[in-house]
Amino acid sequence: MLPLIGITCGWEEEKQWHKLHHEYVCAVKKAGGIPFLLPSIAKRELITVYYRQMDGFVFSGGSDLDPFYYDEEPHRDLAEIAPRRDFFEIELAKLVLSGDKPAVGICRGLQLFNVAAGGTLHQDLKGVTELKHNQEAPRWHPTHQVWIESESEFGQIVGQKSFAVTSFHHQGINKLGKGFRAVARSKDNLIEAIEMGKRIIAVQWHPECLGMENGVSLAIFKHLVDYAEGVKGG
């Protein structure tokens, strides 16, 4: 059986619904995995069941993370938070960090992994950089460059030193979380990708939006699925 890849979903409190762009599902399917959508639940024992049942994980993009989780008060430019989702994903991320299953973090997912590992965020990038990281362009259109540490695991996975990415965020990594290595940066020196060996890769951009015809995007999701298949088979 193909590996089950759990994908976290967004949550809208007012409408009481879970949401996810179809691009994530398409990316996992194209890479050879079976996508399984994970709703935000608030019971630790059920979160543990999810962790045990899945072979790998995608932590998707979305709302700002509550700065409570990195011991800060909310900045005036903090955007909407989703407490239900925050609790669920932090707990799941801790299980992933302490376990042996692979994961990819995307945009918010990168920020969440960093915080779950004890790192902090810039709650807003105003005053931190003049580079526009929250693009006003089609979702599929890359708008700025990133540069990769060629000796990193991530560099070996994607096989490129630099490329253009999509960018939909107003926050970014400040203090790096324990156990993670920064392996890609934008021109303004903002961290754009982190890794924990080959097992956990997280990027600040949206590879699923670039399509699986994009070599870097395919490599990211294919690595996740192949690693998950190895764990499942082992």
Q: Active-site residue numbers? A: 107, 206, 208
Residue with tokens 């097992």: 199
Between strands 144-148 and 162-165, the pairing is antiparallel
The dihedrals phi and psi of 114, each to the nearest 5 degrees, come to -60, -45
Task: Please give the Cα distance from 185 to 139 (Å, whole number).
Answer: 20
**CA pair distance 208, 218, nearest whole angstrom:** 9
- Considering only CA atoms, which of 205, 220, 204, 186 is closest in space to residue 142? 205
- The C-alpha atoms of residue 173 and residue 13 are separated, in whole angstroms, by 26
